[in-house]
Structure 1
Amino acid sequence: MSLHIATPLLASTALPAKDGQESWLKMEALQPSGSFKLRGIGYACEEYRRRGARRFLSSSGGNAGIAAAHAGRKLGVPVLVVVPETASARARELIQREGADILVHGASFQEANAHALSLLGPQDAFIHPFDDPLLYEGHATMIDEVAQAGLRPDAVVLSVGGGGLLCGVVEGLRRNGMDEVPVIAVETVGADSYAQSLARGERIELPAIASVATSLGARRVSEAAFALASRHPVQPVVVTDADAVGACLRFMDDHRVVVEPACGASLALAYQRHPALAEFRRVLFIVCGGVTATVAQLHAWGAALR
């Protein structure tokens, strides 16, 4: 039995759309750990345990760390999550609530990640937040469910951080005979390493993350995600923090579900009636979720970003 659940696929009448356009929501925010991350990370943890891992090490102070902690608890495998000093108190609390140990190290994800790798022992498995083919295999199951429901979207809209979700969705499209379906990859200003990399034709590294959408805060996307754009139709779009937070607040009112700004970035395209959506009739939004932003924090951001 999988650690993730099959999530609802909802047709939304609340999201603004042009006449005749359908907006579909894959509700990954309802996963037990609160985000899509559990699909890939749960699959990877199960596979690594099968190979003999006796402990999981994660290097995320956000949704990936929470998913690894949840998976370890369900599988009965100890988990150590190395988080940077920037990890929020709420994220640390949620990781500990799942029974994992936490080690705070470094000012950024890069430092936390390097330290986690240095701690790996012979019976440990490293659970990367976004750069592991096992993650893509697990994330692809959300598109399997979409196909099983009989929906063939004309475009998929998703948010991009390190690129794990993007790689998983494209793998899912391909294995369900939807190779030609384009993906609209959304980031926020200040966390737009993917859009900048595609524009320059090479992977770039941001000097810092300057966005409230910290779950998109990979200063450099994975090589797999960058290479993907040469093999699959991918259109990058960048929105502001205000757009992302505003979409979270509207989505909360419309669908009674709280998501992070990292998720709100992709939803913002619907609320803006963004030109990138204009030519498509059936648009699938991956509501990727995220649990490190509270309702109070969203309102505070919304007020500050006006």
Structure 2
Amino acid sequence: MNLHFDTPLMESRALSVPGEQSIWLKLDALQPCGSFKIRGIGHACAVHQSRGAHRFVSSSGGNAGLAVAYAGRRLGIPVVVVVPETTTARAKELLGLEGAEVVVHGSSWQEANQYAQTLLGATDAFVHPFDDPLLWHGHASMIDEVAEAGLKPDAVVLSVGGGGLLCGVVEGLQRNHWRDVPVLAVETEGAASFHAAVEAGRTVELPRIASVATSLGAKRVCEQALHCAHAHPVRSLVVSDRSALAACERFLADHRILVEPACGAALSVAYDRHPALSEYKKVLVIVCGGATATIDQIRAWAEQPDCR
């Protein structure tokens, strides 16, 4: 069974009219646990269950962990999520509501992830937040839905963290024979591991994450993301935290949906009428969502003196 929903596809007049373009939104922020993550993670968890897994183990202080917890509850399988010490109380509360066992370990996702590996038993399945072909296959379903709706965009705009969404969208574009549709891959300054990889020609590890868009906070993007940039037309864009936060506020006012700064990064390209959009008339923005940020937190980040 599918653990995700088909999500609405709608044209945004608020985004389309100012630039005299047609800006379409794939509203995966409306998924049951608040983000696109359930597409790939739900698929992966169902596959692991069919292979005999008795418990799911994951490492994520955010949306991936929530998706694993949701999938485990729906499938009747216990879930352990290892989160770093930086995880917000709100995120831990949401994980608890889904019935997951929450283990706090380490100061970063990398440390939490390493510890999660030590918990794996013979009948456990590890569910990675972004680097797994099962996830990419599931995420690709959003492009299948766009194709079934009869909309072929001139370009797709999405946010990049670890690269799972990018890999899934490229897989979806290619299996729908849309190899000519470019992807604009957006990150925030201070969390741009994909941009660094494109510039270097290989994946590189950032020394630290210096962005409020913590859902984009993978120090190293997955290898498949860089492969996608070679196999498909992908352009890397980097925006400021301030632009991402402003886009969250504007999107809430325009569409009554609250998203995280990680999602705001992609939306900011449309709101700020980024020059990269100028050559396209019909643009699809993946509204990837995010469930752990509150509007008060977004406004507090924007008021910080070091917000760039």
TM-score norm. by structure 1 comes to: 0.98
Q: Where do residues 281-300 of structure 1 align in structure 2 (5 Å cutoff)?
A: 281-300=281-300
Query: Which residue of 2 is the match for residue 134 of structure 1?
Result: 134
Query: Which residue of 2 is the match for residue 115 of structure 1?
Result: 115
Query: Which residue of 2 is the match for residue 100 of structure 1?
Result: 100
Code of the residue aligned with 1:78 in structure 2: it is: P
Residues 1:17 and 1:270: Cα distance change in structure 2 (over 3 Å): farther
Higher deviation after alignment, 295-304 or 272-281: 295-304
CA displacement at 1:197 relative to structure 2: 1.1
CA distance in 1, matches of 2:291, 2:18: 31
Structure 1, unaligned runs of 5 or more: none
User: Identity over the aligned pairs, expressed in percent?
Assistant: 63
Q: Is the 8 A contact 2:16 2:22 kept in 1?
A: no
CA displacement at 1:20 relative to structure 2: 4.4
CA displacement at 1:110 relative to structure 2: 0.6
CA distance in 2, matches of 1:107, 1:297: 21
Give the secondary structure class of the aligned counterpart of 2:269.
helix
CA displacement at 1:133 relative to structure 2: 0.1
Query: Which residue of 1 is the match for residue 250 of structure 2?
Result: 250
Higher deviation after alignment, 63-72 or 14-23: 14-23
CA distance in 2, matches of 1:17, 1:280: 14
Residues 1:239 and 1:256: Cα distance change in structure 2 (over 3 Å): same
Query: Which residue of 2 is the match for residue 184 of structure 1?
Result: 184
Listed one character per residue, the Cα deviations across residues 193-233 of structure 1 (whole Å, up to 9, x for unaligned) are 10011011121101110000000000000011111111100
CA distance in 1, matches of 2:144, 2:52: 28
CA distance in 2, matches of 1:152, 1:18: 22
CA displacement at 1:302 relative to structure 2: 2.3
Query: Which residue of 1 is the match for residue 3 of structure 2?
Result: 3
Q: Where do residues 74-93 of structure 1 align in structure 2 (5 Å cutoff)?
A: 74-93=74-93
Give the secondary structure class of the aligned counterpart of 1:230.
helix
Structure 2, unaligned runs of 5 or more: none
Give the secondary structure class of the aligned counterpart of 2:5.
coil
Q: Is the 8 A contact 1:16 1:273 kept in 2?
A: no
Cα RMSD of the aligned pairs, angstroms, is: 1.0
Matched, 1:158 2:158: yes
Aligned residue pair count: 306
Query: Which residue of 1 is the match for residue 172 of structure 2?
Result: 172
Give the secondary structure class of the aligned counterpart of 2:24.
strand
CA distance in 2, matches of 1:301, 1:105: 25
CA distance in 1, matches of 2:241, 2:273: 17
CA displacement at 1:179 relative to structure 2: 1.1
Give the secondary structure class of the aligned counterpart of 2:14.
coil
Query: Which residue of 2 is the match for residue 67 of structure 1?
Result: 67
CA displacement at 1:80 relative to structure 2: 0.1
Query: Which residue of 1 is the match for residue 143 of structure 2?
Result: 143
CA distance in 2, matches of 1:160, 1:19: 24
Query: Which residue of 1 is the match for residue 269 of structure 2?
Result: 269
Higher deviation after alignment, 291-300 or 164-173: 291-300
CA displacement at 1:298 relative to structure 2: 1.3
TM-score norm. by structure 2 comes to: 0.98
Residues 1:17 and 1:207: Cα distance change in structure 2 (over 3 Å): farther
CA distance in 2, matches of 1:160, 1:302: 21
CA displacement at 1:303 relative to structure 2: 2.5
Q: Is the 8 A contact 1:17 1:273 kept in 2?
A: no
Q: Is the 8 A contact 1:42 1:67 kept in 2?
A: yes
